[in-house]
């Protein structure tokens, strides 16, 4: 989803250029593996290449770094993070979708306190923190939110949309 000027009343303008997107969760009786990823979209809202997916297998593209895979959700605070420098994101990228997936055949019913947050990194000001465990309990993939560029201005909007299908189907939804 690319934000459209004048059509996104809930959009939050992002003033800082250094951001972190974090995912935290607690597991139930088994160890569910959640993954945070970013789909970087062009001006038509399309994923041009798998090189434009930032995840635990492709840790870096220009301006976005994934800190690595946490397979258990153990520990305090964010279990997986994306570090984003909006000034270094390629001009060809006009939108960034934040996606959370769960490995295997599990759904978010097996997970407690699945939370996504977006914050600026200098002073820790949080733009958004959302717990999506109950909202998307029957899903294995959630499109959490979207950053969109309008010239030099970036805006964020929460999406919280469950997606049925595997990674290939998700990429296909966005034109790849």
- At 111-144, the pLDDT tens digits run 888 899 999 998 888 999 999 888 888 888 999 9
Residue 160 is part of a domain; what is its CATH number? 2.60.60.30
Q: What is the pLDDT of residues 68-114, one digit of tens each?
A: 777 665 566 667 899 999 999 999 999 999 999 988 778 888 888 88
Is 7 within a domain? Answer: no
Is 1 within a domain? Answer: no
Is 82 within a domain? Answer: yes
SS3 for the chain is CCCCCCCCCCCEEECCCEEEEEEEEEECCCCCCEEEEEEEECCCCCCCCHHHEECCCCCEECCEEECCCCCCCCCCCCCEEEEEECCCCCCCCCEEEEEEEECCCCCHHHEEEEEEEEEECCCCCEEEEEECCCCCCCCCEEEEEEEEEECCEEEEEEEEEEECCCHHHHHHHCCC
Is 108 within a domain? Answer: yes
Is 132 within a domain? Answer: yes
Is 5 within a domain? Answer: no
Is 56 within a domain? Answer: yes
Number of domains in the chain: 1
pLDDT at 6 over 50: no
Structural domain for 138, as ranges: 12-170
| pTM, to two decimals | 0.89
């Amino acid at each position: 989803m690319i934000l459209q000027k004048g059509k996104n009343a809930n959009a939050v303008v992002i003033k800082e250029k250094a951001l972190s997107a974090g995912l935290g969760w607690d597991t139930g009786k088994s160890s569910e593996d959640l993954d945070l990823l970013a789909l970087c979209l062009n001006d038509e809202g399309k994923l041009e290449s798998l090189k434009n997916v930032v995840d635990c297998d492709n840790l870096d593209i220009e301006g976005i770094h994934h800190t690595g895979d946490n397979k258990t959700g153990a520990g305090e605070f964010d279990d997986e993070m994306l570090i984003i420098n909006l000034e270094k994101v390629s001009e060809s990228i006009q939108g960034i979708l934040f996606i959370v997936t769960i490995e295997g055949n599990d759904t978010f019913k097996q997970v407690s306190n699945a939370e996504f947050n977006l914050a600026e990194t200098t002073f820790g000001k949080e733009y958004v923190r959302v717990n999506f465990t109950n909202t998307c309990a029957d899903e294995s993939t959630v499109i959490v939110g979207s950053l969109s560029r309008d010239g030099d201005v970036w805006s964020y909007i929460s999406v919280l949309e469950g997606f049925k299908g595997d990674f290939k189907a998700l990429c296909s939804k966005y034109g790849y």
